[in-house]
Chain A
Amino acid sequence: MRSYKELAIKMLFTVLAFSSLVFLAGIVFVLFKESIPAISEINLFDFLFGKYWYPTFEPAEFGVLPLILASLEVAVGALFVCVPLGIGSALYVNELASASQKQILKPLIETLASIPSIIYGFFGMLIVAPFIQKLFNIPTGLCAFSASVVLGVMAIPTVASISEDALSFVPNSFKEASYSLGANRWQTLTKVVIPAAASGISTSVILGMSRIVGETMTVLMVSGGAAVIPKSFFDPVRPMTATIAAEMGEAAVGSAHYHCLFAIGLILFLITLVFNALAEAISRKYRIKLGLDR
């Protein structure tokens, strides 16, 4: 009798274990199913490379190029903030901080990660945007530049904590060998430690990028919302996530607009999927390189 019970429990766990696979498959299915009407109606080329996003005009135009470019612009800008600050913080925590400093700094960086994105958006809208507007004397502070700054700050913990992991995996023998050759700590850091952790650090940047591209509330509140092809960093823009969040409420279910928003969701999903696969591939290679397989 007991073995039947054991078997039943094992079966139950096996079935439940597939839940995340089911949800992921469900997301893929839903995104494709709801996007296909849009793509068949508009044709893929006009959709992807159309320069105008006028969903409520008559006749409506659904070209997502301005939205894709806006996402790209904001993400690239954010990298300039989160890469130096994130990696710099990780290097400080891992190489320079004393044990007691580490004990304080690591939780603080984690705290930065636990702040909800709506709070970042709120902060960006009330502080960063007016500051940028005054600093550069531009008509509105709600622009790609402000969004980049706020998104960059948001992504610091992602970059920092994954980089820090990578740095902590570098064997001590590497450093000792470098010191014994007469290199000082900075030379050891830049010539030995960073190259050894390079793939882990690049993983952190890719995952940070993935988080930035998928971030919604911050860009919705800070980026300005103009769906035109961005010409400079100081123009208001409307990235893909902000478009979905802002327009889904007013799009009639089943309309071309509704399906187009799902198609944008599909593009976003595919982008983050590629980023994650890339990060996974790099980190696997890296573990093998340092002789840590898991």
Chain B
Amino acid sequence: MKIRISNKFSSAVKEKIGFTFLALCIVITLLFLAGIIYLIFSNGLEVISWEFLTSVPRKGMTAGGVAPAIVGTLYLTVGAVAFALPLGLACAIYLNEYGPRGFIVNIIRMSINNLAGVPSVVFGLFGLAVFVKFFGFGVSILSGSLTLGILILPGIISASQEALMAAPYSIREASLALGATQWQTIKKTVLPAAMPGIMTGVILSVARAAGETAPILFTAATFYKRGYPDSIFSEVMALPYHIYALMTEGTKPDKQTAIAYGCALLLLAITLLISAVAIYLRNKYRSLYAR
């Protein structure tokens, strides 16, 4: 059998080329990330001021601040989490602690997976037909929060489930052996152990809910509102929608783009900060329970 030196050489070259290509892939990916963050921070920082954060828009959206949009996003996000957290947690507890393995659990699991894959604009259509029209909540904080709540529900369920699963089985057995009932066991031992993981999931879904635009397009958001929302039935300004509206409506593109940069910076800073906290917590927590 002939040994071909040239072939051996070329396989080493191939390896080098291949590895360079892979390194290039990750570098390009990170360049996009850096580019987006740099663009928005470098152009947005000069717009941010105390007035920008705390006052209402003036002169047909070309001056003043975006405080109502910040407040609106806060309301929508809090509403969404308040709706989705109890439901999601209950669902995760059922699936992990009570659910008999089999048909029912499979059906629920399948519906969670599919719900997670539904396009965000379809949630918007659902919210429009059900909350805005059928229940008559109108275009409002309530409709928007409920729609966003359904959108983040699958994420909260999976994160909670992962956290519950990571809680060691031995603590359940120990509790049951001491004569505690199943609910006492869940409440006093399993949930406290899983709490950091659950909180991480909740924090991540806060970031998601704050940044989503399509679901609130027809259910909650408005471009311009005089002052702040006064009840859960009033429509609101929201940061992500405000960026869209500034870029596509109105008559003074230059001034509007500057304000949009400011809004984009706020939104990006909020979501990045929230996600960073969540990722940090999760990594810390995962290594805690790594067995």
Contact = CB atoms under 8 A, between A and B. Distances in A.
Given A24-B115, A118-B243, A268-B121, A10 B268 contact: no
Contact of A189 (B18, B114, B208, B267): B18
B36 interface: yes
A62 B96 CA distance: 47
B12 interface: yes
A34 B129 contact: yes
Contacts, number: 254
A109 B29 contact: yes
B25 interface: yes
Interface in A197-233: 207, 210, 213-217, 220-221
Nearest to B133: A253
Interface residues on B, range: 35 or more
B5 to A, nearest CB: 14
A280 B279 contact: no
A253 B138 CA distance: 13
Contact of B247 (A27, A185, A221): A221
Nearest to B207: A114
Contacts of A24: 111, 114-115, 118
Interface stretch (A1-9, A44-52, A170-178): A1-9
Q: Which of B29, B94, B207, B279 has the most CB of A within 10 A?
A: B29
A110 B129 contact: no
Q: Which of A31, A217, A241 has the most CB of B within 10 A?
A: A217
Interface in B111-128: 111-115, 117-126, 128
B6 to A, nearest CB: 15
A17 B91 contact: yes
Contacts of A117: 120, 211-214
A216 B125 contact: no
A152 to B, nearest CB: 10
A180 interface: no
Contacts of B81: none
B154 interface: yes
B217 interface: yes
Interface in A15-32: 16-21, 23-27, 30-31
Contacts of B153: 19-20, 23
Given A24-B111, A280-B113, A92 B22 contact: yes
A269 B122 contact: yes
B204 interface: yes
Given A186-B14, A253-B133, A241 B121 contact: yes
B176 interface: no
Interface in B85-120: 86-87, 90-91, 93-95, 98-99, 107-108, 110-115, 117-120
Interface stretch (B48-56, B166-174, B270-278): B270-278
B1 interface: no
Interface in B19-45: 19, 21-26, 28-30, 32-33, 35-36, 39-40
Given A34-B129, A107-B279, A20 B122 contact: no
B257 to A, nearest CB: 7
Interface string A111-126: 1101111111111011
A246 to B, nearest CB: 9
B8 to A, nearest CB: 9
Given A20-B154, A262-B125, A265-B125, A12 B25 contact: no
Contacts of A23: 115, 150, 153
B91 A184 contact: no
A30 to B, nearest CB: 5
B29 A85 contact: yes
Interface in A87-118: 87-89, 91-93, 95-96, 105, 107-112, 114-118
Given A16-B86, A30-B125, A248-B124, 5 more contacts: A13-B94, A27-B122, A118-B267, A126-B39, A280-B113
The 3 A-B residue pairs with the shortest CB-CB distance, nearest first, are A88-B25, A116-B211, A214-B119
22 contacts: A6-B183, A12-B90, A31-B125, A31-B126, A89-B29, A91-B22, A108-B33, A111-B33, A111-B279, A114-B211, A116-B213, A118-B241, A119-B36, A119-B40, A122-B243, A126-B39, A214-B118, A214-B119, A269-B122, A273-B114, A276-B113, A276-B117
